[in-house]
Amino acid sequence: MNKPEPIKTEDQPLGLYAKREPVFNRRIDGKFRRLKWGIMVICLAIYWITPWIRWDRGPYAPDQAVLVDLAHRRFYMFSIEIWPQEFYFVAGLLIMAGIGLFLVTSAVGRAWCGYACPQTVWTDLFQHVDRFFDGDRNARFRLYKAPWGPSKIARRLAKWTVYLLISFATGGAWIFYFADAPTLHQEFWSGTAAPVAYGTVFVLTMTTFVLGGFMREQVCIYMCPWPRIQTAMLDEKSLLVTYKDWRGEPRGSLKKAEKNPGQFGDCIDCNQCVAVCPTGIDIREGPQIGCITCALCIDACDRVMAETGRPRGLIDYATLEDAEQEKAGQPPTRHLKLIWRPRTILYFTVWSGIGLAMLFLLGTRVHTDLTVAKDRNPPYILMSDGSVRNAYTLRLRNMEGRPRQMEIGIKGIPGAVMWSEDMGRDQASRSLTRTVPADETQGVRIYVVAPADSVEPEFTFTLQAEGDARESDEAEVRFDSPEG
């Protein structure tokens, strides 16, 4: 019977892109496989369940725990609400995510790629679907080689239908992050959702179907920039999945090793490490860009070592420095020591510094905001009594989930008074009060008039929300007059 051959580096053409060789990875059990199961379940659960978690923010705000409310330009995450002018929080989160990836890479190598990257998680899921419909490695290979007939067509159709269902659930879940999930769910199935919702689901369903179902490891090898960036970031102290060639070579079957005692290393050339690899590579050829460090080959080899009565760890997490030490017969560095080294401490310090700064800003930010735009044409109006009038548009922002009274005041220009468009000049004063609805911005057009003898080129608008002295804001503005 023909068996699938491992993809060898020297067999691959030197072109920019190699035609995909299908990978028929074998089922394996072990501590890393169980870890991958756990992380996969957690990642998928977070992705699918999060939009359905409710969070009470009172009657004026949505009750979805995590929501990107594009219509009202808000981002909600549990008790945090981000307004568009606070986008620096989102930028901070993205920077933290980037530095977090650097931190993880320098501490534990490509752990992100091997365990938590969406491409890895969905490819893993689809490979389990393959096994469910087509059997394990050899059965899948036989089916792949078999001519097309009713049985093969039926199996393929059934499998691709499940791929499509998973892809649809993936694309479908995404849109629930952008609108109230129960409402959108009802609208989606009754055909009354916005066309963009159907378009988004279609695009994401098809990309999941193609990337997870068919392209798989090609995405990691050819499309994703992260492996290249990581390669540049790895150093001699980075943890990699390593084949200990000094212990395994020269490799030879058990029979050969028994016939020639002492002439062979620990590797019995059983190819189990290759058979379980989800990207189809042979780790014995050294570190490769196709290795996502999922550690399934460690599980496979540890099992072989146990069965043949040899110590585990012929393939193991190790650093290049460890490899040199072990080769020289010295004990490897403890993994904890590798994690706490200057580079990781630097990344961690920067990462946690940004996190603490954001927490501080979140804890001390006020929910009252004032922006002012001055009329430029005309810049001022000279009144019949010699006083000078300027006009402004104020935007009062109430970022709390309840209506609030806010007092607008003038600081500077002695004798200046103001009134709004819906008042008469006879009611002009140094302050006026507005009620701003919950979670809204209210525009107010204000006229400020200053006596001719006390005109100053600048003054300040103040905004004070009732009941909390901390809840205030101010904006310095120009005051134009014939003097300049």
Angle at 167 between CA 163 and CA 170, to 5 degrees: 145
Q: Which is nearer to ligand SF4, 289 or 438 (CB)?
A: 289
Q: Which candidate, 303, 293, 295, 305, places its Cα nearest to that of 34?
A: 295
- Least Å distance, CB 6 to ligand SF4, is 10
CA distance 179 to 168: 18
- Least Å distance, CB 55 to ligand SF4, is 39
- Least Å distance, CB 310 to ligand SF4, is 8
CA distance 161 to 204: 16
Q: Which is nearer to ligand SF4, 266 or 473 (CB)?
A: 266
Q: Which is nearer to ligand SF4, 269 or 474 (CB)?
A: 269
- Least Å distance, CB 39 to ligand SF4, is 14
CA distance 248 to 265: 4
- Least Å distance, CB 248 to ligand SF4, is 6
Q: Which candidate, 114, 301, 130, places its Cα nearest to that of 217?
A: 114
Q: What SS3 state is found at 422?
A: coil
Q: Which is nearer to ligand SF4, 43 or 450 (CB)?
A: 43
- Least Å distance, CB 226 to ligand SF4, is 15
Sign of CA dihedral 274, 277, 282, 283: negative
Side-chain half-sphere CA neighbours of 108 within 13 A: 12
Give the contacts of 326 (CB within 8 A, at least 6 positions apart). Answer: 244, 246, 247, 318, 332
Instruction: Give the binding site for ligand SF4 (CB under 6 A).
Output: 241, 243, 248, 267-273, 276-279, 281, 283-284, 291-297, 300-301, 304, 314-315
Q: Which is nearer to ligand SF4, 146 or 223 (CB)?
A: 223
Q: Which is nearer to ligand SF4, 39 or 383 (CB)?
A: 39
Q: Tell me which residue has tokens 């290979």.
A: 141
- Least Å distance, CB 44 to ligand SF4, is 20
CA distance 152 to 473: 70
Q: Which is nearer to ligand SF4, 155 or 256 (CB)?
A: 256
Q: Tell me which residue has tokens 């706490």.
A: 340
